[in-house]
């Protein structure tokens, strides 16, 4: 009898072990390395902490330092460029690998890539296609199973809705009696910082101590729980972050409120995951579900335009953005942030939980370096799925990720291939014990990770041979594996300059958080012909009002468009602070800083707008002049990803006026133009066209028009500005589009 019992238990265990595991993949947005309780935080995350206690934490798990590129690498097992960027045209995705192995595939949350999830193997999808969204009102990109979905006017909150739909999808999977793969991509804690009221009030007062104290406490906890070596050197507060006790009272109040909102957003993620885990337990799914939790990048430092900062953040109209000081604390103990390839940008909390399959001791902290590209190979291994080498409509490249199944089995991992790191001009390479990194293509820095994980001592000068070897690996991988464009793989600089970013918090300009920021003074860089008048006008109250927003090119055509539309419309454009000439609306960052002032209280019937030429300027960071452009030594003014995001934010502002919108594509960049690269204009126009199509905004294609211009219509060879003849031709086209919008019902 005893033998029969043992045999029964043996066969029962064997059958259970052979059962394909369910897979739950969770990605959060802009979460700092230390933002969970089990990674050092004071924020209450009991459900995630429990997964870590009963599962496995990784201390050296890397992302790409950026939202969309991390999503590409996560889904494809390839570097972002290699996979075809957002299009993923050179890759297959996790659901496309698992579905043929019998899996039900579903996703909820943020997509931020080309097309939508149902085009890439997900059988069910709920969420938003945009890179960020209002937590309470959402946006027009929400989809449900491939079709548009309207956000309810009341009772909606994205973090909650993502789990609501996830639970519904799991119910469908269980009905079909299939193993399931569920991917939840929370938009939290990405800005805008719009927590739920109950969560926000829970943390009021906790952050009055400031970021210096919070960071110190987090580092102490990280060392105590064994996440960091006790002897690890900790970098001091950087010069670009002001000491908490040096802030004004108003600044401290404002910053404490922002961190309170962050904590509340993270707390809510944990609460909703607790609800999902309870559903798994109720269905007896938890034991054989592999749960993987990661973040797309480190904390975000970009302190952009904040609105309604005198209100409570749980109002849908309140839009608070990120704080550089709190990003520094949230990334404890590391340096730098999202978009940088230092550990603060790329080190992610990573929790793995699988009672039926994980063979490591509960609560283990694994120190093997790993990356998002390893997720697909790992899932394929545990699911017994094959990764295809061909796929209809795509030109597949080889996987670069490796399976982490040996770690799950409690085995020792062999040496992995180098981890390539690239976003924009920020670069890095992790190869064994060594980390090579460059801040915005400045000289390579070298760090010995086992003794200096927080990157405090640059030993590049002591080990030039290692720098040379790793730099060659980085360049060879960039060229041969990623197929990166030439601009991204040119040699790094020779001399270092101060590590700064124009969107990091500027404390001298934030005296009071409760005052509406004034539009900053612009110093337009425009030829004299573009600012020639007359600019004064006497509006006719019986005529519709038209606003033209744009760069110096649009200044040139506004005067003629106004003349053509005389008697049909009042044509305005924003004026410079001196009120004597039009403002050059500059790049999208300047647009975001000034759009409220430019729109004013006027009722607009039509807004004709364009941004692009300033965004794709290469500006020398050492210059203090706004108009300085340097194609050789400069930095691209606005990355493609930020350009897309900024356009979305600007459109939201303009749509709120009720005006009909017309987008004017960026005009031609001629060969030899100083400060811009030929071809960038076309790339940025593709991005803009995608954004306009999503919002049903008609396009005035000035780019095609200017491609046909004769040399006589340019001010000089290689200049993007136009003679009177060129400006008049553009004005005629602009006026036609505006007239069409005015007459269209």
* CA 275 vs CA 38, 48, 272, 506: distances in Å: 19, 12, 5, 40
**DSSP secondary structure code for residue 668 in this structure:** P
pLDDT at residue number 622: 67
State the fold for domain 21-415: Alkaline Phosphatase, subunit A (3.40.720)
**What is the Cα–Cα distance from 250 to 255, expressed in whole angstroms?**
9
Strands (E) across 22-65 are located at 22-28, 56-62
Q: Is the pLDDT confidence value at 533 over 70?
A: no
Burial 129-148 (b: 16+ CB within 10 A, else e): bbbbbbbbebbbbbbebeee
What is the sign of the dihedral through the CA atoms of 205, 211, 216 and 220?
A: positive
530 pLDDT tier (thresholds 50, 70, 90):
low
Residue 236 pLDDT: 95
pLDDT value for 50? 98
Q: How many CB atoms lie within 10 A of CB 6?
A: 10
Residue 431: φ, ψ to 5°: -135, 100
- pLDDT of 623 reads 61
Instruction: Give the separation between CA 36 and CA 43, rounded to whole angstroms.
Output: 6
Give the other-Cβ count within 10 Å of 5's Cβ. 9
Could you tell me which of 22, 560, 36 has the C-alpha nearest to residue 265? Answer: 36
- Closest CA relative to residue 255, chosen from 593, 221, 263: 263
Q: Is the pLDDT of residue 437 over 90?
A: yes
Cα–Cα distance measured from residue 150 to residue 119, given in angstroms and rounded to the nearest whole number = 20
Q: Tell me which residue of 464, 51, 596 sits closest to 293, measured CA to CA.
A: 51
Quick one: how far is CA 10 from the chain centroid? Answer: 49
**Which residues have a Cβ under 8 Å from the Cβ of 743 and sit 6 or more positions away?**
none
Say if residue 308's pLDDT is above 60: yes
Token pair belonging to 264? 């509340």
Per-residue model confidence (pLDDT) at position 9: 33
Is it the case that residue 605 has pLDDT exceeding 60?
Answer: yes
Is the pLDDT score of 670 beyond 90?
no
What residues have CB less than 8 Å from 373, skipping those under 6 apart?
73, 74, 76, 77, 78, 79, 399, 400, 401
Distance CA 533, CA 211 (A): 51
Confidence of residue 531 (pLDDT cuts 50, 70, 90): low
What are φ and ψ of residue 330, in 5° steps? -70, -25
Q: Which helix (H) or strand (E) holds 325?
A: helix 324-330
Tell me, what's the pLDDT at 448? Answer: 98
Distance CA 225, CA 97 (A): 37
Tens digits of per-residue pLDDT, 249-305?
Answer: 999 999 999 999 999 999 999 999 999 999 999 999 999 999 999 999 999 999 998
54 within 8 A of 361, measured Cβ to Cβ: no
The pLDDT, as a whole number, for residue 154 is: 95
Give rounded-to-5 percent helix, strand, coil for the chain: 35, 15, 50
> Is residue 507 within 8 Å of 211, Cβ to Cβ?
no
Tell me which DSSP letter residue 713 carries. Answer: G
Give the Cβ contact number of residue 73 at 10 Å. 29
How far is 570 from 546, CA to CA, in rounded Å? 6
Q: What is the mean pLDDT of residues 562-569?
A: 93
- pLDDT of res. 742: 93
Q: How many CA atoms lie within 13 A of 155 on its CB side?
A: 2
pLDDT at 624 over 60: no
Per mean pLDDT, which range of 515-524, 576-585, 654-663 is the poorest? 515-524
- Please give the average per-residue pLDDT across 67-88, as a whole number: 97
Q: What is the pLDDT of residue 193?
A: 98
440-484 confidence digits (pLDDT tens)? 999 999 999 999 999 999 999 999 999 999 999 999 999 999 999
pLDDT at 511 over 60: no
The pLDDT value recorded for residue 515 is 41
656 burial class (0-12, 13-18, 19+ CB within 10 angstroms)? exposed
Angle between helices 67-76 and 375-383 (to 10 degrees): 30
Structure tokens, 141: 């990109």
Within 13 Å of residue 125, how many CA atoms lie on the same side as its CB? 25
Counts of helices then strands in the chain (DSSP H, E): 20, 22
Mean pLDDT of 568-574: 92
pTM here is: 0.70
Q: How confident is the model at residue 647 (pLDDT cuts 50, 70, 90)?
A: very high
Task: Assign 3-class secondary structure to 57-110.
Answer: EEEEEECCCCHHHHHHHHHHCCCHHHHCHHHCCCCCCHHHHHHHHCCEEEEEEE
Phi, psi at residue 108, to the nearest 5°? -135, 150
Burial classification of residue 643, based on how many CB atoms lie within 10 Å of its CB (0-12 exposed, 13-18 middle, 19 or more buried): buried
Digit-coded pLDDT (tens) for 33-67: 999 999 999 999 999 999 999 999 999 999 999 99
Q: How confident is the model at residue 144 (pLDDT cuts 50, 70, 90)?
A: very high
The SS3 assignment for 365 reads strand
**Beta strands across the sheet bearing 426-431:** 419-423, 426-431, 434-438, 445-448
**What does residue 480 show for φ and ψ, rounded to 5 degrees?**
-90, -30
Q: What is the mean pLDDT of the chain?
A: 91
Provide the b/e sequence for 711-734 (b: ≥16 CB within 10 Å): eebbbeeeebbbbeebbbbbbebb
pLDDT at 579: 67
Are the CB atoms for 78 and 400 separated by under 8 Å?
A: yes
Is 576 a residue whose pLDDT tops 80? no
Which segments within 361-424 are labelled E, that is strand?
A: 364-366, 370-371, 419-423
Res. 93: pLDDT tops 50: yes
pLDDT tens per residue, range 677-723: 888 899 999 999 999 999 999 999 999 999 999 888 888 878 888 98
**616, 677 contact by CB (below 8 A):** yes
Higher pLDDT, 335 or 619: 335
The 10 Å CB-count burial string (b at 16+, else e) for 343-364 is bbbbbbbbbbbbeebbebeeeb
Q: Is a pLDDT exceeding 90 seen at residue 630? A: no
Helix (H, G, I), strand (E, B) or coil at 35: coil
Q: What is the pLDDT of residues 3-31, one digit of tens each?
A: 333 333 333 333 334 589 999 999 999 99
Report the pLDDT value the prediction gives residue 675, as an integer from 0 to 100.
Answer: 81
Cα distance between residue 423 and residue 107, in whole Å: 26
Helix (H) or strand (E) holding 182: strand 180-185
Confidence of residue 393 (pLDDT cuts 50, 70, 90): very high
- Domain spans in the chain, listed from the N-terminal domain onward: 21-415, 518-743
Does pLDDT of 1 surpass 70?
no
Residues of the chain with pLDDT > 90, as a percent, come to: 77
Find the range with the poorest average confidence among 336-340, 398-402, 530-534, 565-569.
Answer: 530-534
Q: Which fold has domain 518-743?
A: Rossmann fold (3.40.50)
Contact of 418 with 472, CB cutoff 8 Å: no
Question: Under DSSP, is residue 218 helix (H, G, I), strand (E, B) or coil?
Answer: helix
Pairing of the two strands 289-295 and 347-353: antiparallel
In angstroms, the CA 297 to CA 290 distance is 22
C-alpha count within 13 angstroms, C-beta hemisphere, residue 116 = 22
């Amino acid at each position: 009898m005893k033998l029969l019992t043992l045999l029964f238990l043996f066969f029962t265990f064997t059958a259970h072990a052979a059962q394909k595991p369910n897979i739950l993949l969770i990605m959060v947005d802009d979460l700092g390395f230390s933002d969970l309780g089990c990674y050092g935080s004071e924020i209450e995350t009991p459900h995630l902490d429990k997964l870590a206690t009963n599962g496995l934490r990784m201390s050296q798990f890397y992302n790409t330092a950026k939202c969309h590129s991390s999503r590409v690498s996560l889904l494809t097992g390839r570097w972002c460029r290699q996979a075809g960027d957002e299009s993923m045209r050179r890759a297959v995705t996790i659901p496309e690998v698992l579905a043929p192995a019998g899996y039900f595939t579903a996703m909820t949350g943020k997509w931020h890539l080309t097309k939508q999830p149902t085009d890439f193997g997900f059988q069910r999808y709920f969420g938003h296609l945009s890179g960020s969204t209002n937590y309470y009102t959402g946006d027009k990109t929400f989809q449900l199973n491939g079709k548009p979905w309207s956000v309810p006017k009341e009772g909606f909150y994205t973090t909650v809705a993502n789990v609501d739909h996830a639970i519904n999808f799991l119910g469908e999977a269980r009905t079909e009696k299939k193993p399931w793969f569920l991917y939840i991509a929370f938009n939290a804690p990405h800005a805008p910082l719009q927590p739920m009221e109950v969560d926000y009030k829970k943390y009021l007062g906790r952050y009055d101590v400031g970021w210096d104290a919070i960071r110190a406490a987090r580092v102490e906890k990280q060392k105590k729980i064994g996440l960091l070596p006790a002897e690890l050197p900790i970098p001091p507060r950087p010069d670009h972050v002001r000491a908490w006790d040096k802030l004004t009272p108003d600044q401290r109040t404002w910053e404490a409120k922002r961190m309170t909102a962050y904590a509340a957003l993270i707390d809510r993620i944990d609460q909703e995951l607790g609800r999902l885990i309870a559903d798994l337990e109720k269905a007896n799914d938890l034991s054989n579900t592999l749960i993987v939790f990661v973040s797309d990048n480190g904390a975000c430092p970009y302190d952009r335009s904040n609105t309604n900062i005198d209100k409570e953040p749980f109002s849908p109209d309140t839009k608070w953005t990120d704080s550089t000081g709190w990003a520094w604390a949230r990334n404890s103990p590391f340096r730098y942030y999202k978009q940088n390839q230092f550990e603060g940008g790329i080190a992610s909390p990573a929790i793995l939980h699988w009672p039926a399959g994980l063979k490591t001791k509960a609560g283990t902290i694994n120190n093997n370096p790993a990356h998002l590209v390893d997720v697909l190979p790992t899932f394929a291994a545990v699911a017994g799925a094959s990764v295809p080498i061909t796929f209809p409509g795509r030109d597949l490249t080889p996987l670069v990720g490796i399976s982490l199944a040996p770690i799950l089995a409690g085995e020792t991992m062999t040496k992995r291939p180098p981890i390539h790191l690239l976003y924009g001009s920020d670069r890095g390479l992790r190869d064994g014990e060594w980390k090579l990194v460059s801040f915005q293509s400045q000289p390579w820095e070298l760090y010995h990770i086992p003794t200096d994980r927080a990157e405090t001592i640059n030993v590049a000068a002591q080990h030039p041979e290692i720098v040379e070897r790793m730099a060659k690996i980085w360049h060879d991988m960039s060229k041969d594996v990623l197929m990166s464009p030439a601009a991204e793989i040119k040699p790094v600089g020779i001399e270092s300059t101060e590590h700064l970013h124009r969107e990091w918090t500027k404390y001298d300009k934030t005296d009071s958080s409760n005052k509406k920021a004034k539009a900053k003074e612009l110093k337009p860089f425009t030829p004299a012909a573009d600012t020639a008048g007359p600019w004064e006008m006497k509006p006719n109250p019986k005529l519709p009002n038209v606003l033209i927003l744009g760069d110096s090119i649009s200044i040139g055509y506004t005067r003629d468009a106004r003349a053509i539309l005389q008697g049909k419309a009042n044509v305005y454009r924003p004026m410079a602070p001196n009120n004597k000439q039009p403002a050059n609306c500059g790049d999208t960052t300047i647009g975001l800083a000034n759009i409220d002032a430019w729109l004013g209280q006027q009722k607009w019937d039509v807004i004709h707008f364009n941004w692009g030429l300033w965004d794709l300027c290469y500006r020398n960071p050492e210059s203090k002049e706004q108009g300085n452009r340097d194609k050789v030594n400069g930095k691209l003014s606005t990355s493609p990803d930020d350009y897309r995001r900024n356009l979305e934010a600007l459109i939201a502002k303009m749509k709120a006026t009720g005006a009909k919108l017309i987008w004017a594509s960026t005009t031609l960049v001629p060969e030899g133009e100083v400060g811009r690269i030929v071809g960038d204009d076309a790339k940025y126009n593709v991005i803009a066209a995608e954004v306009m199509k999503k919002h049903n905004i008609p396009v005035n294609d000035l780019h095609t028009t200017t491609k046909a211009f004769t040399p006589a219509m340019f001010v000089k060879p290689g200049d993007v500005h136009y003679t009177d003849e060129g400006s008049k031709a553009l004005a005629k086209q602009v006026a036609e589009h505006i007239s069409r919008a005015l007459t269209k019902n």
